[in-house]
Amino acid sequence: MPVFALVDCNNFYVSCEKLFDPKLKDRPVVVLSNNDGCVIARSAEVKALGIPMGVPWFKIQQEAKRHGIVAFSSNYALYADLSNRCVEVLSGFTPNIEVYSIDESFLELSGFEGRPGGLMAYGAEIRQRVADWLGLAVCVGIGPSKTLAKLANHAAKKNLAGANGLCDFTTMSQDELNALFERIDVGEVWGIGRKINARLEAMGIRTVRQLRDADAELMRTSFSVVVERTVRELRGVSCLDLQEVVPEKQQIMSSRSFGQLVYDLPELEEAVASYVTKAAEKLRTQHSLAGAVQVYIRTNVFKPEVPQYQRAVTLPLPEASADTRVLIRWALRMLRRIYRPGYGYHKAGITLMNIMPATNQQFSLFASGGAEDVRSHKLMDVLDGINGKYGRGTLRLAAEGVEKVWQMRRGNLSPRYTTEWDCLAVVLAR
Amino acid sequence: MFEPMDILGPGVFIPLIPAPRLSLPLDTVKVSAGFPSPAADYEESRLDINEYLVRNPVSTFFFPVQGESMEGAEIHDGDILVVDKSVRARHGHIVIAFIDGQRLVKRLHHRAGRVALMAENPCYPPLEIQEGMELHIWGVVVGKFKRFGA
């Protein structure tokens, strides 16, 4: 029988910020979304103040001032490094791991039940090691299916069951589980979104227990096999396997809202070129090629009083490519086609599509193959190598521009403490 | 390379001249001639400074130093410290300590009920940790390095 654990980092982004800055101890801290728009992570102190997730930052300025809330722009370089380190630590506990998101991983733990102290002790060891090695607090939920592991994690985090951020459904009695499941809303179940939740409620299904005991067939006919599977998983029948490797991305998107409106084509060109650069870099790290590129631009839809314009075009490439120069050339041609002067552009983006492994490449009849391709490949290797070593953007194509007036607002970005030599946290010898 | 835009718009569609060739660059093809190297069996991987300084990469972080209080321990202004969080701090270890909103490097004294952060320079007195003070030992310093501007 499989046994799963869901391990997730508490207040992950905020915890990363607090890890390196001793001044943030016991202070209310939030992390803001791109462009410093909304609150996307809150410290325990902020949660205690009743500030909700997702609230626009400008709406809570007064409150923030009153309580001395410290706000950070998203420092994804820092979060990604700590997330990778966390996965590495977790990999020491089982070879079977699925990285579910930047701060959550599923671990398959069957075979470890027989260790002294059982899975509870193993879970405690996981928490301890992540805390010791990385200074990050995690919660561990254990159950016979992924859905139950996720629910156990929720129970641990909200202190509904278990103790010390750890909850193991496999050691709880049926009566204990029944009582617990009666107290948890069905909307907390993994995969039950707002829409399904509302319809379940209309059917009188409000608690996890009611969903678990619902007629599985009826759930399939009323909703889908997905909900039916959820019911079975709640009963302890594992239907979802560990998806051990993250599937290669089918699309790579790169887009941003601009810090200030952009009117001119050259500025838009720089923005689009730099998005392509970033996406192409990602494409190459997964050894893939893109078969098509989409470009879009739009004005601020939230300001209906100003003239509105938006347009997106997708272009299939003559041959799949991962060459930044090729992708930029196509993207810019499309941008020039859709650009209309006289509008204040608020956002631009590109999407690389039809992504395929680099080994599947088919040369088109009229395309340049052979030597040109090897050269391009080498150039891109050098580009990635240098940027990997000296920091993103060290070496870039002139099309990306130098000034980047359009760049997003990141008013209070903490240093990239772990990924840049120039950003390391100084310690005082005094 | 032909341009798809050209097909979309009006115009004549001309295949690329010259036609593609298949060429293999020399340096991607392994050429073997003559006798195998007599040293082939003795090949070992080159020394890696990471291996020397970093025992547990996942829990290792770097911190540059500012100040002179640890000179007696050969830690100088501008050195970069190698800090391993997975090492449990003990009496006598050099540690990164978070205290009073500051990141400090000190030698940890923990003996007979006395906890103190010691400097390695007579100009700096020990920092005694009293009841009610919050000391957080962030990690243990396991090495240091510096690059000269040559």
Cβ-defined contact of B66 to A427 (cutoff 8 Å):
yes
Distance, in Å, from the CA atom of A150 to the CA atom of A6, rounded to the nearest integer, reads 6
Identify the weakest region by mean pLDDT among A144-148, A374-378, B15-19: B15-19
Report, at the CATH architecture level, how domain A1-172 is classified. 2-Layer Sandwich (3.30)
What distance in Å separates residue A184's CA from the closest CA in chain B?
Answer: 37
B22 occurs within a structural domain: no
- Which residues 70-89 in chain A show a CB within 8 A of chain B? 85, 88-89
Locate A117 and state its tokens: 């102290």
Residues B78-135 pLDDT 10s: 999 999 999 999 999 999 999 999 999 999 999 999 999 999 999 999 999 998 899 9
- Which residues 82-111 in chain B show a CB within 8 A of chain A? 85-86, 88, 96, 98-105
Domain ranges of chain A: 1-172, 173-246, 252-400
pLDDT at residue A399 greater than cutoff 70: no
Chain A contact for B62, CB < 8 A? yes
Domain with residue B118: its CATH number is: 2.10.109.10
Chain B contact for A338, CB < 8 A? no
Select the residue of A132, A134, A427 nearest B105 (Cβ to Cβ): A427
Cβ-defined contact of B20 to A370 (cutoff 8 Å):
yes
Residues A114-124 pLDDT 10s: 899 999 999 99
Answer positive or negative: Cα dihedral of A190, A157, A108, A171: negative
Q: How far is CA A311 from CA A175, A220, A349, in A?
A: 58, 39, 11
**Is the Cβ–Cβ distance between A53 and A40 less than 8 Å?**
yes
Q: Backbone phi, then psi, for A378, in 5-degree steps?
A: -65, -40
Q: Residue A389's pLDDT is what?
A: 62
Distance, in Å, from the CA atom of B15 to the CA atom of B129, rounded to the nearest integer, reads 79
B12 occurs within a structural domain: no
Residues A184-216 pLDDT 10s: 999 999 989 888 999 999 999 999 999 999 999
Active site residue B30: no
Identify the weakest region by mean pLDDT among A25-29, A242-246, B5-9: B5-9
Topology of the domain comprising A173-246: DNA polymerase; domain 1 (1.10.150)
Residues in contact with A41: Cβ distance below 8 Å, sequence separation at least 6, in sequence order: A11, A12, A13, A14, A30, A31
Identify the weakest region by mean pLDDT among A120-124, A139-143, A319-323, B58-62: A319-323
| CATH of the domain spanning A252-400 | 3.30.1490.100
Residue spans of alpha helices (H) in B75-131 = none
Active site residue B69: yes
- Please state the ipTM of this predicted complex: 0.75
Residue from B32, B59, B69, B144 carrying the catalytic annotation: B69
Residue type, B6: D
B97 occurs within a structural domain: yes
Residue from B85, B106, B144, B146 carrying the catalytic annotation: B106
